[in-house]
Amino acid sequence: MKLFVIAGEPSGDRLGRAVMAGLKQLDPGVSFDGIGGPRMTDEGLKSRFPMEELSVMGIAEVLPRYRQLMRRIDETARAVIETRPDILLTIDSPDFCLRVARRVKEAGAPVRCVHYVAPSVWAWRPGRAAKMARSIDQVLALLPFEPPYMEAAGMACDFVGHPVVTDPQATEKEARAFRERHGIGDAPLVLALPGSRRGEVQRLSETFGGALARVQAALPEARVVLPCAAPVVDLVRAETRHWSAAPLLIDPGRDTDGAEKRAAFRAADVALAASGTVSLELAAADTPMVIAYDMGWISRQIIGRMLLTDTVTLVNLVSETRSVPEFIGKHCQPEVIGRGLLRVLERPEAQRAALRETMARLGA
């Protein structure tokens, strides 16, 4: 079996690695081609170009790189058509991946197109499902409520569970050792997670720093820990240099097995996180959270008018609660986020039932 696999960001790279490992167990002779990051490379993929070129999000962020992205779409589609894999497996990054799949189908190539991670048509732009069905044969969904949306548009769709439920978690002993190792003791510990994309970090770092400063003003003994995503380590270091609540940075270059990051997740009393799948990682670690996110002004205006749900936090959606406070768009302001963090620190148990229900529904 030959697969052409495309992932465009760290979360997709993680999913891609798991798929590649699973397929190698089922068919030791399987071969891979495509685009991916370090995790997929470890499983044997030789990426045709750096995955980081695709890690852009939002209208304002994409526009300056539009021509380059279009060239990469053409180049990738040609590679699929020429190599004739059995399956084109596209992972998330729909703006790039679905354009590639469409060009492959339009060329008449006999390739089955499978997309891993259903687009959030339940949240905004529901017409995407019908448009997607023109080029995608099958969807692999991470969330249990997604298959009906995809099937109604004419695609096969399977809920395959969310990989977060199989991730290793730190023990209480490892969390305590983390606190002792870094001199934190019993002080309140806030986990800061401003995103894995450069644009996210640049937009959110000042706001996150301001919110954390308000927490530290109310709780002077509070500490902050920030596990960095590999593509933005240097940027995070530069952006947080001016935070009054100086964070303990966890560099993935040194934390090669992720043990330090896992311990930080378990040791934290509360997390301040950008919107996205990180909320599920926090739920898996049983860590209460506050979600905050903003985007470029143009993206905010357009998406704000198209949003179909009253929450964008996956824990809230999967658990069918509104337990996790979120501060999105114009509400993403340091003062209100800081107050939200202090409220969660006062009553962390208020989220725990929703966190555990989320994990159960995702396949734990």
- Looking at residue 304, what is its pLDDT? 60
Strands, sheet with 189-193, edge to edge from the N-terminal-most edge strand: 248-250, 223-227, 189-193, 270-273, 289-293, 326-328
- pLDDT band, residue 242 (cuts 50/70/90): very high
Between 302 and 56, the more confident residue is 56
DSSP string, 127-148: THHHHHTTT-SEEEESSTT-HH
Residue 57: the pLDDT is: 52
> Quick check: 81 pLDDT over 60?
yes
Q: What is the dihedral of CA 130, 133, 135, 136, to 10 degrees?
A: 140
Q: What is the pLDDT of residues 7-49, one digit of tens each?
A: 998 889 989 999 999 999 999 999 999 999 999 999 999 999 9
Percent of the chain with pLDDT over 70: 93
When the pLDDT of each residue in the chain is averaged and rounded to a whole number, the result is 92
Instruction: Report residue 298's pLDDT band, with 50, 70 and 90 as the boundaries.
Output: low
Say yes or no to pLDDT of 65 above 80.
no
Q: Give the whole-number percent of the chain exceeding pLDDT 90.
A: 79
Pairing of strands 248-250, 270-273: unpaired
Looking at residue 295, its pLDDT comes to 76
The mean pLDDT of 230-256, rounded to a whole number, is 94
CA 124 to CA 54: how far, in whole Å? 22
pLDDT digits (tens, 9 = 90+) for 263-274: 999 999 999 999
- Report pLDDT for 62: 64
pTM of the predicted protein model: 0.76
Torsion angles phi and psi, residue 292, rounded to 5 = -140, 140
